[in-house]
């Protein structure tokens, strides 16, 4: 059995005026935590994490995995949505991760990730851990936080930031609501917040980090050896949401996926 991971962290978003602070630290913290658990880890940071690079590295990670292998992808950065164009989303939105070149209208759509994960070999265990406003269901607009620390930001990039004018007009007409498909038909998804909430870019002891990543890594380190993803999720929920970071992590997957050993 092999265990491989790709850790993506993007602080810099040229052309958007929406840079973050803690995402690179998140990726490096995930790398450290995963290496302790026997993973071979590749980092993809800032300008390395273009859409093409993210898609190629994720696809290679999934396609190289054989039955019994474990592959993990951690993503820290902005999340967003764009108008659905193929009619598969009841709420009219395709969710997306925001690569470094999102300013060139290059989101990495949930449809694209789903297609990649669907090509996995039977018997592989694929997990996506997303510290962004990308919950696997409905993403809604995120206002700036009212927290006293001005450096705390939400990890959501409004579609108007990068969409061309015609698509911005379409996006502005899309109503909220509706249930939708998730990535979990092929991969387990651990996300930083619930549908109507936001993942926070924060700071702990003077070090920028995502609130979800900070508490999730701490919970992972304290898990017993045979803990499952369900156990890990319960441990994370002991610390999130809290008064400072009102975000509720989510765990999406089948019953058998949730019973997999957590990142092991």
* Predicted confidence (pLDDT) at residue 154 exceeds the cutoff of 50: yes
- Of the ranges 78-92, 206-220, 238-252, which one carries the lowest mean pLDDT score? 78-92
In this structure, is the dihedral angle defined by the CA atoms of residues 148, 149, 153 and 154, taken in order, positive or negative? Answer: negative
Active site residue 133: yes
Residue 181, pLDDT > 50, answer no
For the segment 116-142, the average pLDDT, to the nearest whole number, is 75
Query: Does residue 177 have a pLDDT over 60?
Result: no
CB atoms inside a 10 Å sphere around CB 160: 14
- Which of 78, 98, 134, 193 is labelled catalytic? 78
Residue 81 scores a pLDDT above 90: no
From the candidates 7, 23, 98, 133, give the one annotated as an active-site residue.
133
Q: How many CB atoms lie within 10 A of CB 37?
A: 18
Give the residues across from 79 on adjacent strands.
97, 156
The 10 Å Cβ neighbour count of residue 254 is 11
pTM of the model: 0.85
DSSP label at residue 144: P
pLDDT of residue 185: 52
CATH hierarchy code of domain 3-258: 3.40.50.1460
Span of 7-21, 138-152, 176-190, 245-259 with lowest mean pLDDT = 138-152
């Amino acid at each position: 059995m092999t265990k491989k991971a790709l850790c993506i962290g993007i602080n810099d978003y040229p052309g958007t005026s929406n840079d973050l602070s803690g995402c690179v630290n998140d990726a490096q913290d995930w790398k450290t935590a995963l290496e302790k658990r026997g993973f071979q880890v590749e980092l993809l940071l800032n300008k390395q994490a273009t859409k093409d690079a993210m898609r190629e590295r994720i696809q290679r990670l999934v396609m190289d995995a054989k039955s019994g292998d474990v592959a993990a992808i951690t993503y820290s950065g902005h999340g967003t949505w764009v108008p659905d164009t193929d009619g598969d989303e009841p709420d009219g939105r395709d969710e997306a991760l925001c690569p470094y070149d999102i300013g060139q209208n290059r989101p990495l759509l949930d449809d694209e990730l789903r297609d990649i994960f669907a090509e996995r070999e039977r018997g592989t265990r694929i997990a996506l851990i997303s510290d962004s406003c990308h919950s696997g269901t409905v993403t809604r607009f995120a206002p700036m936080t009212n927290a006293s620390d001005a450096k705390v930001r939400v990890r959501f990039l409004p579609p108007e930031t990068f969409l061309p004018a015609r698509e911005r007009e379409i996006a502005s007409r899309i109503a909220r609501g509706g249930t939708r498909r998730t990535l979990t038909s092929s991969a387990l998804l651990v996300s930083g917040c619930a549908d109507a909430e936001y993942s926070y870019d924060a700071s702990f002891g003077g070090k920028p980090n995502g609130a979800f990543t900070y508490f999730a890594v701490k919970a992972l380190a304290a898990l017993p050896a045979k803990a499952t993803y369900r156990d890990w999720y319960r441990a994370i929920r002991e610390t999130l949401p809290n008064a400072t970071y009102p975000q509720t992590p989510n765990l999406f997957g089948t019953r058998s996926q949730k019973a997999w050993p957590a990142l092991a």
